[in-house]
Amino acid sequence: KMTRMFGDCHSLKSLDLSSFDTSNVTVMDDMFFNCISLPSVDLSNFDTSKVTDMAGNFDSPQTYLPYLLLYWY
């Protein structure tokens, strides 16, 4: 479970997730909730084949979402 792993990290400006093993994760809800300073997240290495809940992953009332670049294949 990765619920709110980086949630409310207001000052987080970069994040390297390339070594995360997500192959057995089933819940990824609100992972980046309210990360208002994070301009981009590269999730290309995430294996989400077992994930059943991704609700609210990038919700943030203070983020201008067009500038939040997501790379998720």
pLDDT digits (tens, 9 = 90+) for 40-70: 788 888 898 998 887 766 666 555 444 444 5
pLDDT digits (tens, 9 = 90+) for 2-20: 888 887 888 888 889 889 8
Beta-strand runs (E) in 1-73:
40-42, 69-71
Distances (CA, A) of 63 to 15, 31, 33: 17, 15, 10
pTM attached to this predicted model: 0.66
Q: What is the DSSP string of 27-43?
A: B-TTTTTT-TT--EEE-
- 32, two tokens: 């980046």
